[in-house]
Amino acid sequence: MPTWFCSREWFCHVGKFDEGGKGVPEDLLFFYEHIRKGGGVFRVDQCLLLYRYHPQAATHSVLEGTIWNHRVRFLEDRVLKHWTSFTIWNAGKQGRKLYRSLSPTNQKKVAAFCDVAENKIAKGFYTYQESKESPKPKISIQHFRDATPPFIICVKLDLTGGAFEENLNSLDLKEGLDYHQFS
């Protein structure tokens, strides 16, 4: 579990935790406010703190859907509002879930999905069946080499034996400019 630290002065500047009660991801909301106010993050690759698991921990009351919704809104506010179009890298479950979770404005910015799976690429497009629009939106599915940046990447790292990372590196993209990781 990631742990992060800040000074008391910065903590007061950011505005303390949202103690809205059970089910509120107060640490995630505080972190997002920290970023919004210009806070930075530095990685330390060593164990600094050991957490103890217990069944009564408040973290168990936070629903996965709540965290997902906050993450999507943060992505829209911090990244997507600056882009006129983008490609979702993953035509599978996570990529489609992201698409469906986006605001209608940001759904319209999705130029394509991209993937490496031949069966998804051969299908040619994803149809958003739950849409109220008529006709239903159809988003093309392309091979990643044919897709146009910027990308929102919905592929977890370290799960493909390095194949995904190799594909990404082959495009010579800059993280934070040409793509953002969302997994």
Q: What's residue 21's pLDDT?
A: 72
What value does the mean pLDDT take over residues 176-183? 94
Lowest-pLDDT range of 22-36, 100-114, 121-135, 163-177: 22-36
Give yes or no for a contact between 31 and 51, defined as CB atoms under 8 angstroms apart: no
Is it true that the peptide bond before 150 is cis, omega within 30 degrees of 0? yes
- Model confidence over 4-50: pLDDT tens digits? 778 889 988 998 787 777 788 888 888 888 999 999 888 788 888 77
Rounded CA separation 114/99 (Å): 13
Rounded CA separation 49/4 (Å): 10
Lowest-pLDDT range of 32-46, 88-102, 125-139, 160-174: 32-46
DSSP output for 59-103: GGGS-HHHHHHHHHHHHHHHTGGG-S-EEEE--SHHHHHHHHHS-
Tokens of 183: 């997994």
Cα Rg of the chain (Å, integer): 19
Rounded CA separation 61/84 (Å): 37
Q: What's residue 6's pLDDT?
A: 83
* pLDDT of 163 over the 60 cut: yes
90: left (phi over 0), alpha (psi -120 to 50) or beta: left
- Model confidence over 134-154: pLDDT tens digits? 999 999 999 999 999 999 999
Q: Collapsing DSSP states into helix, strand and coil, what is residue 167?
A: helix
Give yes or no for a contact between 167 and 116, defined as CB atoms under 8 angstroms apart: yes
Residue 130's pLDDT band (cuts 50, 70, 90): very high
- Model confidence over 40-76: pLDDT tens digits? 888 788 888 777 777 777 677 788 888 899 999 999 9
Q: What's residue 1's pLDDT?
A: 52
